Amino acid sequence: MDVIFNEGGVTAPEGFLAAGVHCGIKRYKKDVAVVYSRVPAVAAGVFTTNRVKAAPLKITMENLRDKRAQVIVANSGNANACTGERGMKDAKEMAELTAKELGCRTEDVVVASTGVIGVRMPMEKVRDGIIQCCRNVSKEGGVDAACAIMTTDTFKKEMAVKIDVSGKKVTIGGMAKGSGMIHPNMATMLCFITTDASIEADALEKALRRATVRSFNMISVDGDTSTNDMAVVLANGLAGNRPIQWGTEDFDAFYRGLETVCVELAKMMARDGEGATKFMEVEVKNAPDELSAVKAARSITRSNLVKAAIFGEDANWGRIICAVGYSGIDFNPELVDIYICSKAGELILAQNGMGLDFSEDKAREILKEKDIKVIVDLKQGYGHATAWGCDLSYDYVKINGSYRT
């Protein structure tokens, strides 16, 4: 059962419309988005592990308790976090106004915000943006919606796939934002996924949670976890397939499609890390178990010393094995092999825990490429994991030194 890449994003599945506009939260760029399903949908969400949670996230968590939704309204430029009772009132009003404009229940609205923390929402502008979006949703509006949720992102992040479920073509589409404050256990990210699949609520939730673990929780840019992170999926059933149940072949087919969308969006976020000049993929193989592989891969991608070495095109493998060493896993350092790869070739830097007399010129040639892969072979089992990240450049400090102003 192949996963076929498809054009578009959140409006690729049947029955979904979207819009994105500029209402003035940000000075120039689009800043309010709406994604609308023509019919109520089964829904699931995963949320930040940060103890500090923004008002819209709290509203969304409450609204998704019944595992259904029909509309997503999101803004960029203001996180509506740490804004007290006023912030909760504003988030509720966003849901109420969206529901009124589109003729659905307030409880069926997902609310999301991203941007500066601790600043009150300019509700007069937000109201105008929501009304504009709701009155102009269209099949072509997915691109505008994907642009409207961006903050420091340098490009929009959207994709879609088609899969076969019991002879019916099912489409899964998604859009995301994320560039800084990216770290496992969500990131400073918003991700909205749509599908025309018919799927039972518990199966959808299990699929999203598993896909999140293998995608969004495997990326790291800077070690920060935000207050507003969420990934939400809406399934409206318009593909006409028989309802997908947990533990069936149909579920496996759907899951492969969902994981593909999540992984590709996650990789886009890592590639677009604030100030990044290089995309880094870390593969840990032959670990004692899968959890050990996950911990080791994550530890490498979040190491500032490894990230700085990748930026400097320095084959400093000692920083890589060091990151594995403090990852908390049980392994034998004297068995570890370390490789670097890119379009320019592959080179082994260390074998059985010791450095080799490798060509520094060849290493620099490999590391000059935009996409770099690090392979760590622990040679102690069958555990395997892949994580994604980026380098740490001077521009990261410049961007975040003046983010609020």
Residue 20 belongs to domain with CATH number: 3.60.70.12
Supply the pTM of this predicted model: 0.87
The Cα 182–Cα 367 span in angstroms is 23
200 touches 40 (CB < 8 A): no
- In this structure, the answer to whether residues 285 and 257 fall within a common structural domain is no
CATH of the domain at 293: 3.10.20.340
Q: What is the pLDDT along the chain (405 residues), one digit of tens a residue?
A: 589 999 999 999 999 999 999 999 999 899 999 999 999 999 999 988 778 889 999 999 999 999 999 999 999 999 999 999 999 999 999 999 999 999 999 999 999 999 888 999 999 999 999 999 999 999 999 999 999 999 878 899 999 999 999 999 999 999 999 764 444 455 458 999 999 999 999 999 999 999 998 888 888 754 445 567 889 999 999 999 999 999 999 999 999 999 999 999 989 988 876 667 899 999 999 999 999 999 999 999 989 999 999 999 999 999 999 999 999 999 999 999 999 999 999 999 999 999 999 999 999 999 999 999 999 999 999 999 999 988 887 766 666 565 555
Q: Are residues 141 and 158 in the same domain?
A: yes
Number of structural domains the chain divides into: 2
Which residues span the domain enclosing 203? 4-271
Whether residues 351 and 262 fall in one domain: no
Q: Do residues 248 and 350 share a domain?
A: no
Q: Are 199 and 289 in a shared domain? A: no
Q: Point out the domain boundary residue: 214, 248, 271.
A: 271
Tokens of 281: 């993929």
CA 246, CA 201: separation in Å to the nearest integer?
10
Are residue 264 and residue 328 in the same domain, yes or no? no
Q: Please indicate, yes or no, whether residues 241 and 376 belong to a single structural domain of this protein.
A: no
Pull the structure tokens for residue 69. 């939704």
What is the number of other CB atoms lying within 10 angstroms of the CB of residue 349?
A: 20
How do residues 98-156 score in pLDDT, each as one tens digit? 999 999 999 999 999 998 889 999 999 999 999 999 999 999 999 999 999 998 788 99
Instruction: Answer with the one of 231, 254, 271 that is the final residue of a domain.
Output: 271
CA-based R_g, the chain, Å: 22
Q: Is position 106 annotated as part of the catalytic site?
A: no
For residues 82 and 166, membership in a common domain is answered with: yes
Residues 203 and 156 in one domain: yes
Which candidate in 11, 48, 98, 188 is catalytic?
A: 188
